[in-house]
Amino acid sequence: MAAPRSTPHPLSHLFHPHHAASYVDTMRRGVDHLAEALGRVERRPASGVAPEQAAKPVADVDLDRPLHDVDATLEEMSRLYLDDAVWFHEPTYAAHLNCPVVIPALLAEVFVSGVNSSLDTFDQSVGGTFIERHLVDWTTARIGFGADADGIFTSGGTQSNLQALLLARDHALANGAAASTLRVVASADGHFSVQKAARLLGLGDTAVIAVPVDDRRRMDVTALGAALAALDAQGHHAMAVVATAGTTDFGAIDPLVEVAALARARGAWFHVDAAYGGGLLASPTRRDWLAGIEHADSVTVDFHKTWFQPVSSSALLVADGAHLGHVTWHADYLNPHDAADPNQVDKSIQTTRRFDALKLWLTLRIMGPDVIGGYVDDVVELATEVGALVRDRPAVELAAEPQLSTVVFRYRPPGVPVAVADRLAPLVRATLYARGAAMVAATKVDGHAWLKLTLLNPMATAADIIGIVDEVVAIGDSLLAAEVA
């Protein structure tokens, strides 16, 4: 039975000075519970639970019957969630672009949600507005933008790319381009959020032109030139050229200097999707891999990938802050025309917005950028080392030399036909997950099935990762033997 409103349960506390003791006690229990769970996770990034097994116990919870007890509820949550959670800090988690997170960012989360500032207006965030702005300025300086640069924190690369293309579209329309002629050019390996953005922006599914990639999976510059010329000849307007700095599968960095020059020559907005490769901005040794990014009109950086931040933390940075005016809308109750306050909502497609910037702030203030960039260097070097080891193993095939921190490979011993390798790849991945000892991703390259190791854990060793490859070979061998038998 629910407690009546007039007599709140002793645990029904708001974050309030009267309840500071309850706050501290509750948080400590939570932190202790999580630390204990962390201690139990050993060499097992996943439990291997199947969707139907995971769904039932959750569905069985009666939300109208609260437990009124913190520990009992944490125990229940463990059973429903933590016990089967996928742990990105485990060295044998090598599936998607998820990173282990740095402790200063977790410290910041206490304040992000505890104080619960909303970064839409100055009168809801005060110093938070300036912390976010200082981080934007710091990031744009690392990119090499000038004094007019600006930007905004977003929920992720998908939103950053959407906003970039929105600015590009409105810039083209403001310059007289006809809506029906607008096209977006990206490489065939560009992120699908570019397509999704084109759809959301009313450009249609055929508005994105895919430029072929070269033998290193980078946008082929000659093909880009031809694609832009063809658009011109058809009377279409290339409103944006999107280069990817770190493609999701191969970590390829498109030739930014050459792409920038071609985009500039056609008057196209040049967007760099550095959701993945953006961490190179902090690298003490590999910043030059992003040479040319300073020519961009806009850049997407995901701090929740190669900056080791908890989800969500991303930013859209623009060379000329005036373009952010395309998303400005004045509401009398919030950010009126005559407002003197610096209101971040004027630059964002969100209204209420988390103070995610504080996580990066505490990270930089406690650890400094060189440590973060050093982690990026570590995972790039790890991928190079693992790639070399995979190349030497006869039972596996390497799709391409690693570029950033992914290794695309598959089980295919000599003599095994491609069709069999295609069939085995997803089965190997599923078997690995079910065993729980390691996680890899599955992908397709030119229609063929491959496995992918995404290495974002600077604590993982080459031995850890080669252990996964050995496991893949063992599973492949037994699947193949079962097929033959």
Ligand X SMILES: *Cc1c(COP(=O)(O)O)cnc(C)c1O
Gap between the Cα atoms of 68 and 195, Å rounded: 47
Which amino acid makes up residue 315? A
Given the rule CB under 6 A, which of 104-112, 151-159, 173-181, 379-387 is the region that contacts ligand X?
151-159
Residue type, 203: L
CB of residue 193 vs ligand X: minimum separation in angstroms?
5
Binding residue count for ligand X, defined by CB under 6 A? 15
Piece of the chain touching ligand X by CB under 6 A; list 273-281, 333-341, 384-392, 404-412: 273-281
Q: Which one of 122, 276, 307, 361 is in contact with ligand X (CB under 6 A)?
A: 276
Measured distance CA(70)–CA(476) in Å, rounded: 45
- The nearest distance, CB 350 to ligand X, in angstroms, is 14
For the window 69-88, what string marks contact with ligand X as x by the rule CB under 6 A?
Answer: --------------------
Q: What is the Cα gyration radius of the chain?
A: 24
Give the shortest CB-20-to-ligand X separation in angstroms.
35
Contact stretch for ligand X (CB under 6 A) within 5-13, 24-32, 209-217, 272-280: 272-280
Q: DSSP E strands: which ranges in 84-236?
A: 93-94, 150-154, 182-187, 208-211
Q: Does 97 bind ligand X (CB under 6 A)?
A: yes
Minimum distance between the CB of residue 284 and ligand X, rounded to whole angstroms?
Answer: 23
d(CA 254, CA 190): 10
228 near ligand X, rule: CB under 6 A:
no
User: Could you give the CA distance from residue 54 to residue 38 in angstroms, rounded to a whole number?
Assistant: 20
CA distances from 333 to 310, 327, 413, 423 (A): 32, 18, 67, 59
Q: In this chain, which of 90, 132, 220, 273 binds ligand X, going by CB under 6 A?
A: 273
Taking the complex as a whole, the smallest distance from the CB of residue 314 to ligand X amounts, in Å, to 5
**Smallest distance from ligand X to CB 273, Å:** 5
Answer yes or no whether residue 156 interacts with ligand X by CB under 6 A.
yes
CA distance 423 to 442: 12
- In angstroms, give the least distance from the CB of 152 to ligand X: 15
- Say if strands 269-274 and 298-302 run parallel, antiparallel, or are unpaired: parallel
Smallest separation (angstroms) from ligand X to the CB of 246: 6
Listed residue (355, 361, 360) closest to 129, CA to CA: 355
Q: Which is nearer to ligand X, 167 or 421 (CB)?
A: 167
Nearer CB in complex with ligand X: 185/421: 185
Q: What is the pattern of x (binds ligand X, CB under 6 A) and - over residues 282-321?
A: --------------------x-----------x-------
Stretch near ligand X under the rule CB under 6 A, chosen from 39-47, 123-131, 152-160, 195-203: 152-160
Q: Which stretch binds ligand X (CB under 6 A): 166-174, 270-278, 389-397, 412-420?
A: 270-278
Residue (of 114, 218, 231) closest to 172 by Cα position: 231
CB neighbours of 364 closer than 8 A, spacing ≥ 6? Answer: 135, 138, 372
CB of 281: closest distance to ligand X in angstroms? 15
Asked whether the beta carbons of 436 and 413 are under 8 A apart, the reply is no
- Residue number with the shortest CB distance to ligand X? 157
Q: How far is the CB of 191 from ligand X (least distance, A)?
A: 3
Contact region with ligand X (CB under 6 A), list: 61-69, 106-114, 155-163, 199-207: 155-163
Residue 93: what are its φ and ψ, rounded to 5°?
A: -85, 115
Residues with Cβ within 8 Å of residue 329, at least 6 apart in sequence: none
Cα–Cα separations (whole angstroms), residue 292 to 78, 256, 259 = 47, 5, 9
Q: What is the dihedral of CA 240, 245, 249, 250, to 10 degrees?
A: 120
The beta-strand segments (E) located in 79-166 are 93-94, 150-154
* Cα distances (Å, whole numbers) of residue 149 to 137, 280, 332: 7, 19, 27
363 belongs to the binding site for ligand X (CB under 6 A):
no
248 binds ligand X (CB under 6 A): yes
DSSP state of 405: S
Binding residue (CB under 6 A) for ligand X from 117, 124, 163, 244: 244
163-222 residues in contact with ligand X (CB under 6 A) are: 191, 193
CA distances from 114 to 20, 154, 282, 407 (A): 12, 20, 29, 39
Contact letters (x/-) for ligand X, 4-33, by CB under 6 A? ------------------------------
Least separation in angstroms between CB 301 and ligand X = 10
Query: Min. distance of Cβ 244 from ligand X in angstroms?
Result: 5
- Please list every residue from 329 through 348 that binds ligand X, using CB under 6 A: none
Angstrom distance (rounded) from CA 424 to CA 79: 33
List of residues contacting ligand X (CB under 6 A): 97, 156-158, 161, 191, 193, 244, 246, 248, 273, 275-276, 302, 314
